[in-house]
Structure 1
Amino acid sequence: MRTMQSAVKPKGWMQAILAVALVSMVAACGGGGGSSSSGSSSDSLNGGSLPASPTQQPIASNAVNTVPITVARGVNGVINIPTVSVTVCPPGTTSNCQTITNVQVDTGSFGLRLVSSVVNSSLLNALQPISIGGAQLAECANFADGFTWGTVRTATVQIGGETTATPVPIQIIGDKASSSVPTGCGSGTAENTANDLGANGILGIGTAPTDCGTTCSNASTAATYSNYFACPGGTSCSRIPVPINQQVANPVANFVADNNGVIVQMPPVSNTGASSAAGTLVFGIGTRSNNALAAAQTFATDSFGDMNNSVYNGTTVQAFLDSGSNAYFFSDSSLALCGSNYAGFYCPSSAQTRSVTLAGANSTKASVNIGILSAATLFGNSSNYAFNDLAGQIGSGGSFDLGLPFFYGRYVYYGFDQTANGGQSPYVGF
């Protein structure tokens, strides 16, 4: 549940933070490893049925344009968090760099954000905050389950064998005192530590090149909706417009090569869960022999990767493919909700199948079946961290979030929005 909210992309999830906190607690109680069960026993289905699971396997992550994805216990035992390692260097140098592990792969947000406490002091001191009119630039990044607050700094970013062509703006989370959080910064809980996030940072690699765009650069809209704040002397922060080239940027869109999109490849997992999952993040689409666009269908989206004319239960919904959400999230009154122990998740008495029709701006349509197993059943094995049929309630019936469960056994493609430079329009595919 990491997709940012802004004036042009409201999401409105319900109880997401409860879900994440709950799963963290449940997983932590389980202790160490253990193997997962395979298949779906008749007991777990309880007379119901699940759709056939996709079966694509990730390619080896040994090419220059690939990096391994890991779903496991991570930094705080939160389930379904895909992570990679990211190397950050000060601008203009390849020395004093640091590789940071357990950074969440989030196709529903845009830009790199690192928790300040995991960045060593030498590197942090070398990454000086961007200054706007002599004032320190900070950002309040709003997500479905809370917000992050911290300065915006410039860094060279390397992931796998790919490096940004020039330094890019990133957010350092939690490097400013909580007392500096300005009024109107964000809703929900502050997520300024690795324990809060369940990761050491967030790698936003969705379709948008920056995290806010013209909403934050245009003075008339920025006055009300900007994520960015000027902090003279590091305090008394006030909302300001920020030029697009100083906004937190999608690092992959700024690579020297393979910069037109990404492919998230996750292996199939058992319908009753797995202790871990190992996938591959591939950079570029159609730029090398290992990243051809081989999706059965592609959907033109808005700038933020949303399919706004999709349909669920006869109602038009905004659907999106979000690796940063740890479950499917949608509204369906026919599905029983769990009790207080698993608040926010669905706990149907038998396995269920639901179908959503995805509709792209290019008129491409496709029906997708998803499986739902009771969260209480899935969480019964507390050594499992990868689930392909976990679902929860969304706060608004107007959205359908195809979270990480959708990615298992699939290649999911994200074509970046390059229209500002006369290039391709954004799209997703699988």
Structure 2
Amino acid sequence: MQITSKLKGWMQVAAVAIGVSLVAACGGGGGDNGGNSSNGGINSLPAGPTQQPIAAGAANTVAITVDKGLKNVINIATVSVKVCAPGSTANCQVIDHVQLDTASFGLRIVSSVLNPSLTAVGGLPITTVNGSQQLAECRHFADGFTWGTVRTADVTIGQKQASGLPIQIIGDLPAAVPSTCNGVPENTVDDLRVNGILGVGVMQIDCGTNCSDTTKAPAPGNYYGCTGNTCAPTVALSTQQVTNPVPKFNGDNNGVIVQLPPVPNTGAASARGTLVFGINTQSNNSLGAAQTFLSDDAGDLISSTFNGQPAKALFDTGSNGYFFDDTTLQACGSNQPGFYCPPTAQTRPFTVKGAGSATANINMNVVSAATLVSSGSNFAFNDVAGQGIGAGVVDLGLPFFFGRYVFYGMDLRSTTGQAPFIAF
């Protein structure tokens, strides 16, 4: 998701990821020791949702894993994807530890994890614009940017395939980063802490008419045409932009369901859930009794309320905590910058509202981040929270998803007429 449409923090919101192996060694101090005695009232928190995921095994499912991952970062939900050269069944690679992100749109893979046969001539072809220029993208997130070429691939997730899909290969043009692509570069596995990002939010393409309108001069900051190490802003047609794979599936393509199991308020070493493709298309993806909220184009509920003030609600598996502004919550010190460490466990209510009249009240439980990670062995938490990523924005990150079925209805108004929605 582009930062101009909404702020996203995918596994490091505003550069505040918790690396458990680091903080476990550093211990408390500087305001980080709040709530370490008598478990900080964790047992008094209100009970959370208790839905259990279905087994991943059907053709329209793929497993979700939350564990220590590649870099010991908490609350990173990942899946595996298969990438093939277009039309090939031999030049393929299964890539694990790809972060599941419901607040961005399209697949992005770090170039260094790909087999040379996929990045070489005859592998994943680079999209060209303006004659012979390579198409590259600078995708801005709240905590940095990814830079790399746009290429075409056949992508399989579980047993669902999107053929000829435009994807971004991160970090394959390091010398050509334009000055207008500003912020912190996150073009390696060490930077991202994952091998890639799979954006399955409600938008079909990641920029839309802001980048495809040929009647307007291309604005810097999104797509670029590159010759050698020289890159300039360019228009990218909708067929060339990095594309959400789900609407390109043959069936089960009108949405996704994120299902994660409940975890204890003290956390769990890991959690295993299921990503289900399609809504009301199979016996395993019925919308059922879920409450539905019409969203804006990007999947946000912009008429919500927090602390008596208007707020925008983001439903983002790519954020590893709840993120909101609350001056009454004690901030952690330097060991967990940007996170909250209240002396006792807290609950903050949040009222979400869609474009219609539907509303729902959500309890966001908050436990000291220092307390939660002190064991060094748990990586799945339903009650870690941090400081906000933008005025009036409440980011319902991965803690929100534990014990819930969360539905994302794709924006299909250009074809079938379905408007985007969130349901849970």
| TM-score of the superposed pair, with normalisation by structure 1 | 0.92
Partner of 1:245: 239
Give the counterpart letter for 1:183 in structure 2: S
Partner of 1:113: 108
- Write out aligned runs for 1:14-413 (5 A): 16-20=13-17, 22-23=18-19, 26=22, 43-46=38-41, 49-125=44-120, 126-133=123-130, 134-164=132-162, 166-177=163-174, 179-187=175-183, 189-219=184-214, 223-224=218-219, 226-233=221-228, 235-413=229-407
Provide the rounded CA distance (Å) in 2 between the counterparts of 1:409 and 1:11.
Answer: 23
Provide the rounded CA distance (Å) in 1 between the counterparts of 2:382 and 2:279.
Answer: 25
Is 222-231 or 196-205 further displaced after alignment? 222-231
Q: CA deviation at 1:364?
A: 1.1
Bigger proportion of residues as helix: 1
Provide the rounded CA distance (Å) in 1 between the counterparts of 2:79 and 2:277.
Answer: 13
Give the counterpart letter for 2:53 in structure 1: P
Give the counterpart letter for 1:319 in structure 2: A
Q: How many residues are paired up?
A: 412
Q: Does the C-alpha gap of structure 1 residues 6 and 41 become closer, same or farther in structure 2, counting only changes over 3 Å? A: closer
Give the counterpart letter for 2:16 in structure 1: A
Task: Give the secondary-structure state (helix, strand or coil) at the position aligned to 1:343.
Answer: coil
| TM-score of the superposed pair, with normalisation by structure 2 | 0.93
Give the counterpart letter for 1:269 in structure 2: V
Asked if 2 retains the 8 angstrom alpha-carbon contact of 1:310 and 1:318, the reply is yes
Same amino acid, percent of matched pairs: 55
Asked if 2 retains the 8 angstrom alpha-carbon contact of 1:342 and 1:376, the reply is yes
Q: CA deviation at 1:49?
A: 3.2
Provide the rounded CA distance (Å) in 2 between the counterparts of 1:182 and 1:220.
Answer: 23
Task: Give the secondary-structure state (helix, strand or coil) at the position aligned to 2:414.
Answer: helix
Provide the rounded CA distance (Å) in 1 between the counterparts of 2:391 and 2:381.
Answer: 24
Q: CA deviation at 1:6?
A: 3.9
Q: CA deviation at 1:224?
A: 2.1
Q: Does the C-alpha gap of structure 1 residues 48 and 346 become closer, same or farther in structure 2, counting only changes over 3 Å? A: farther
Asked if 2 retains the 8 angstrom alpha-carbon contact of 1:226 and 1:240, the reply is no
Give the counterpart letter for 1:275 in structure 2: A
Q: CA deviation at 1:221?
A: 5.7
- Unmatched runs of 5 consecutive residues or more in structure 1: 31-39
Task: Give the secondary-structure state (helix, strand or coil) at the position aligned to 2:219.
Answer: helix
Q: CA deviation at 1:128?
A: 1.6
- Unmatched runs of 5 consecutive residues or more in structure 2: 27-34
Asked if 1 retains the 8 angstrom alpha-carbon contact of 2:20 and 2:373, the reply is no
Provide the rounded CA distance (Å) in 2 between the counterparts of 1:57 and 1:64.
Answer: 19
Runs of 4+ deviating beyond 6 Å: none
Give the counterpart letter for 1:321 in structure 2: F
Q: Does the C-alpha gap of structure 1 residues 10 and 57 become closer, same or farther in structure 2, counting only changes over 3 Å? A: closer
Q: CA deviation at 1:5?
A: 2.8
